[in-house]
């Protein structure tokens, strides 16, 4: 059973390096798929469990920089670790500007690379959790009536029931009913839960 979630995709035209990285990652209980070119990887992209990418910066056809540009165009934010040859540090720096997670010069330390991969996988897993949580909260918000949304806005802004009632031209008792209903629909156990959800979806700006 892999110790880290998701698949690491290794992209390199050097078969020996692909096999070496595949062996290293599998020995560390990390699932891995290898690709001989960036184009081959992009062809497989729709079916890929995309959590982390390791790519050489210099490859025939699409380079590692080209791949980073393409991923950015596609809105794919999976962390990319770039492998560079001797003297390619300027290219690695350019890759970092395009959003690369990390870069390593050949020959690299296996343990240091594994540490970076695990860090990338943890970061991506956290990002996926955050996106899932946000989508879940947004679906709950969509179930609220317009009046419940107004009461929610007042609550997360720190207004008391009486103030919300005054602002909306309804009775405090009616506000209490809307509040109970929206708490139930939002599956919020407390007002702090509501505030946290509002921050996650951008209803309330953080200070």
The residues of the chain that CATH labels 1.10.10.10 are: 143-201
Total-model pTM: 0.71
pLDDT, residue 202, reads 84
Please count the helices (runs of H) and the strands (runs of E) in the chain: 9, 5
Strand-pairing partners, residue 103, are 82
Q: For residues 169 and 45, which has the higher predicted lDDT (pLDDT)?
A: 169
Closest by CA position to 42, among listed 70, 84, 19, 10: 70
pLDDT digits (tens, 9 = 90+) for 171-203: 999 999 999 999 999 999 998 899 899 888 888
Tokens 């009536």 label which residue? 145
How far apart are the C-alpha atoms of 202 and 197, rounded to whole Å? 8
pLDDT, the chain, mean: 88
pLDDT, residue 206, reads 53
pLDDT, residue 44, reads 84
pLDDT digits (tens, 9 = 90+) for 128-138: 888 889 999 99
Task: Give one DSSP letter per residue of 128-164, joined into a string.
Answer: HHHHHHHHHHHHHHHTS-HHHHHHHHHHHTT--HHHH
pLDDT digits (tens, 9 = 90+) for 53-65: 999 988 988 999 9
Across 80-96, average pLDDT:
82
pLDDT surpasses 60 at 3: no
The residues of the chain that CATH labels 3.40.50.2300 are: 7-131
Binning pLDDT at 50, 70 and 90, where does residue 87 land? low
pLDDT, residue 47, reads 61
Across 117-144, average pLDDT:
90
| pLDDT above 90 as % of the chain | 58
Across 112-121, average pLDDT:
93
pLDDT surpasses 50 at 123: yes
Binning pLDDT at 50, 70 and 90, where does residue 146 land? very high
- For domain 143-201, give the fold: Arc Repressor Mutant, subunit A (1.10.10)
pLDDT surpasses 70 at 77: yes
- For domain 7-131, give the fold: Rossmann fold (3.40.50)
């Amino acid at each position: 059973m892999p110790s880290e979630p998701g698949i690491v995709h290794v992209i390199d035209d050097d078969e020996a390096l692909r096999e070496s990285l595949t062996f290293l990652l599998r020995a560390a209980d990390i699932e891995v798929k290898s690709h001989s070119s960036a184009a081959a990887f992009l062809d497989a992209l729709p079916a890929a469990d995309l959590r982390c990418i390791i790519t050489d910066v210099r490859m025939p056809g699409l380079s590692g920089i080209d791949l980073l540009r393409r991923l950015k165009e596609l809105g794919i934010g999976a962390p990319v670790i770039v492998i560079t040859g001797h003297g390619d540090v300027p290219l690695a720096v350019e890759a970092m500007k395009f959003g690369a997670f990390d870069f390593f010069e050949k020959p690299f330390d296996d343990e240091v690379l594994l540490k970076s991969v695990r860090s990338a996988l943890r970061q991506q897993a956290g990002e996926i959790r955050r996106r899932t949580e946000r989508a879940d909260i947004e679906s709950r918000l969509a179930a609220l009536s317009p009046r419940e949304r107004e009461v929610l806005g007042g609550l997360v802004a720190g207004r008391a029931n009486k103030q919300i009632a005054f602002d909306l031209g309804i009775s405090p008792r009616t506000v209490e009913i809307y509040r109970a209903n929206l708490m139930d629909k939002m599956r919020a156990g407390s007002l702090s839960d509501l505030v946290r959800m509002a921050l996650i979806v951008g209803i309330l700006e953080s200070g």
